[in-house]
Amino acid sequence: MNITITHAPGETLAFAAGELRGYLARMLPADAAMSVRLVTVPKAGNDAFSVDLSPAGGSIVGSSDRATLLGVYDALRMLGCRFLAPGQEYEFVPPVAPQAIRLRYEKTAAYFHRGVCIEGADSRENILDFIDWLPKAGFNAFFLQFRTPYVFLDRWYRHLNNPHAAPEPFDAADAEAVMDQAEAAMRRRGLMLHKVGHGWTGQVLGCDSLTWDSSPQPLEEDKRPFAALVNGVRGFYKGVPTNTNLCLSNARARARFAALVTDYARTNPGVDYLHVWLADEYNNVCECPACRESDPTDLYVALLNEIDRRLTAEGLHTKIVFLLYQELLWPPVRERLANPDRFVLMFAPISRTFASSYDTAPVPPIPPYVRNRITLPAGLEENLAFLRAWQDVFPGDSFVYDYPLGRAHYGDLGYIHIARVLCQDIARLHEMGLNGYISCQELRAGSPNFLPNYVMGRALFDGCADFDALVQEYFQAAYGSDAPLALGYLAKLSELQLCDYVNGKGPRADPTAADKAGQALRLCGRLASDAAKRAGPFWSALRHHGEYGQRLAKALQLLAQGRDSEAHAAWEEMARYLRATERRTQPWLDVYRALDVTHNYTGL
């Protein structure tokens, strides 16, 4: 076989050449000969590439080295490859006759921001496999929360929520090493790096703040004036530094915050988007007289302007992502961002419903802000009202930071519903005035399969993708000739979805939810039985999913019937099953998070 790939110098182009050569070697006959040029012609804006391939070879030209790599994977997809989930064992790579290679087309990504944010419990391999999969699926960014992703790794290596698995040695230095490997993997692929977000307020208060854990030590007295005054007390809010707000009218607190961000940007030049967020809790903003003179968002914008001044003075061009979340959903009254080009707006509708997609109909006015007495918006119209109010005062770049695979997906045992909502949401982003999407989610959201992520990547690149065609494409590659059987089961399960119920919305006693859960219980039993008769990794996952789904559906049915003690016993049975099978399901089911959500949000 004689496959020649030429390219200009550069780590990402060299990686793209190796990927193209490797896949073509698996697809073409042994006597094939091809010569392909990988070329980058720099151009600002959304990722774009052109593909011109014939049996003899040709070229793939991208608007950046990353775009050229995306073009390589897209060309392979056009030749029949399917990258169905993180990990090479979940790829479908067909044989191809040289004479069938005739591709000539151009593409430009529909949205600039196309990424995923780490959540859940993750091993080193989970993170690296997911990063490897991102460009194959059409994404261009990854977000490592906190200064290091210690908390997500620690959950896995300590095996939280699974007392049957012995904790493994793991510390902050190990997390730093994994982070370095992850960032190197991202650089190799030209992916955009988002970092931090959570943890700044804890740092200002003198804590490492790499988790949502309580502090073992009380707040130091010299830092106490920096903490928000809540109910007459300055201290860690419920003991958790990451959830503690600051006294942002305190000039020293603001200066310390701004200095920390500036120092981080200076010492981490590889970060493309640095997220600057406040506490991860609400109704706990400062009540001191000076803070009461301004709405929290005005104080937040003043802080962001101070950060911008310092970054500008040092010649740093790092983009700062600011957050519309909790109290910060209310736009500023007096303050405005002085340098909009520095900033990117991130809309985070964490309290939204996932029963349906975004509704871009006329939105109601936002409610008045009442300090430490807010209620998070539940309806889609209410959430979008806050976005519209912010867009009236900020004209810059923006994206949505959403949570379809963070909690609600456990209520959709078929994953067809949540994937459809994702596709519909993404199709409406331009209409909403947003330039992309980052999903805050478990990396191992793959039970029953990774269809929602697959749809997300394709829809973000191709725009209004044909949802039904994507589903057929995915199922055919994953389940082979029995794809209609798998799709039939999962489509019916999705008709019975309880996304909002599992996410804690609505009363726990609910006859409709009980009926749906009962139907899902019976369907999952038949699914497990039929999947057991078939071979392959996706059928194996479906068999387990049917067994797990029966146990979850039973617990939900009992809870919705008001039989609480029986429901809790059923949840314990589900927990035992998931814990006992975790080693087998590790790449595609986050047991830590499945148990955390169904216990803490659903009420089991």
pLDDT tens across 105-131, in order?
Answer: 999 999 999 999 999 999 999 999 999
When pLDDT is averaged across residues 89-97 and rounded to a whole number, the result is: 97
Q: What is the pLDDT of residue 1?
A: 74
Q: 16 in a domain, yes or no? A: yes
Confidence of residue 350 (pLDDT cuts 50, 70, 90): very high
Q: Which domain holds residue 41?
A: 2-108
Q: 542 in a domain, yes or no? A: yes
Q: 97 in a domain, yes or no? A: yes
Number of domains in the chain: 2
Q: 53 in a domain, yes or no? A: yes
Given strand 103-108, what is the order of strands in its sheet? 2-7, 33-40, 57-62, 48-54, 103-108
Taking the whole predicted model, whether its pTM rises above 0.75 is answered as yes
Q: 25 in a domain, yes or no? A: yes
With CA atoms as reference, report the closest residue to 186 among 62, 12, 444, 47: 12
pLDDT greater than 80 at residue 360? no
pLDDT in tens, 492-524: 999 999 999 999 999 999 999 999 999 999 999
Q: 588 in a domain, yes or no? A: yes
Identify whether the C-beta of residue 81 lies closer than 8 Å to the C-beta of residue 23. yes
Q: 20 in a domain, yes or no? A: yes
> How many whole angstroms from its chain centre is CA 164?
29
Identify whether the C-beta of residue 91 lies closer than 8 Å to the C-beta of residue 77. no
Alpha helix positions (H), 3-94: 11-27, 65-78
27-56 burial by CB neighbour count: b if 16+ within 10 A, else e?
bbeeebebebbbbbeeeeebbbbbbbbeee
When pLDDT is averaged across residues 463-477 and rounded to a whole number, the result is: 94
Question: What is the rounded distance in angstroms from the CA atom of residue 404 to the CA atom of residue 401?
Answer: 10
> How many whole angstroms from its chain centre is CA 396?
22
Q: What is the pLDDT of residue 362?
A: 79
Boundary (domain end) residue, out of 84, 108, 132: 108
Question: What is the rounded distance in angstroms from the CA atom of residue 321 to the CA atom of residue 297?
Answer: 14
Give me the CATH number covering residue 32.
3.30.379.10
Quickly tell me which residue has 């707040």 as its tokens.
219
Boundary (domain end) residue, out of 87, 108, 129: 108
- Three-state DSSP class for residue 601: coil
Mean pLDDT of the chain: 97
Confidence of residue 464 (pLDDT cuts 50, 70, 90): confident
With CA atoms as reference, report the closest residue to 205 among 246, 172, 237: 246
Q: Is 293 exposed, middle or buried (0-12, 13-18, 19+ CB in 10 A)?
A: exposed
When pLDDT is averaged across residues 353-366 and rounded to a whole number, the result is: 88
The count of other CB atoms within 10 Å of the CB of residue 233 is 12
Q: 506 in a domain, yes or no? A: yes
Say what the alpha-carbon torsion angle 428, 433, 436, 439 is, to the nearest 10 degrees.
-70
Boundary (domain end) residue, out of 81, 108, 135: 108
